[in-house]
């Protein structure tokens, strides 16, 4: 079970250096896949009861889009978790929902990941990397209840050809 510590740290205000670096840089648009994931997950955040529930909703949105979706499907990550997730928010170690602040931070961090790799658009792997940064253990748990791990997902993404996803600008 995720301990919520990393989530609480993210909730405490995020990383000021992330904010400063993104404010000083140029905006990188989202690929179509990343934009769809962000829209689906962003809409679902209002219905989340804890940070772990938010991470679950991100995984559901990611599993059908872009490179990350291909990898998650190849690993057998399904729509539903292998275990019931309704009890997540009742655990004492669960963190309160991070809401719009986490969505905004995820977009900023994803943009930074895209800039670091010299990309013209933010793609789904950038979103996933940002989600690991923002949600930490909660994202690891959301993957593990579906039979996957951060290491497996990142290894499969690294194996993909760089030209696999040719995102268009929005």
Q: Is residue 93 part of a domain?
A: yes
Specify the number of domains making up the chain.
1
Q: Is residue 97 part of a domain?
A: yes
**Residue 86 reports pLDDT greater than 60:** no
CATH of the domain at 95: 1.10.1780.10
Model-level pTM? 0.74
Tokens of 140: 């690891």
> 59-74, pLDDT tens digit by residue?
999 998 999 999 999 9
């Amino acid at each position: 079970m995720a301990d919520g510590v990393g989530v609480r740290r993210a909730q405490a205000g995020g990383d000021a250096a992330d904010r400063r670096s993104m404010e000083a840089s140029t905006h990188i648009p989202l690929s179509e896949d990343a934009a769809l994931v962000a829209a689906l997950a962003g809409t679902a955040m209002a219905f989340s009861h804890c940070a772990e529930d938010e991470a679950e909703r991100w995984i559901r949105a990611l599993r059908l889009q872009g490179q990350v979706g291909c990898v998650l499907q190849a690993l057998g990550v399904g729509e539903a978790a292998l275990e019931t997730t309704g009890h997540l928010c009742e655990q004492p170690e669960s963190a309160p929902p991070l809401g719009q602040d986490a969505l905004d931070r995820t977009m900023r961090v994803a943009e930074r990941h895209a800039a670091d790799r010299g990309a013209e658009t933010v793609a789904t792997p950038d979103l996933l990397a940002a989600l690991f940064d923002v949600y930490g253990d909660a994202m690891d748990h959301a993957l593990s209840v579906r039979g996957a791990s951060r290491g497996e997902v990142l290894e499969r993404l690294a194996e993909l050809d760089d030209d696999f996803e040719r995102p268009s600008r929005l």
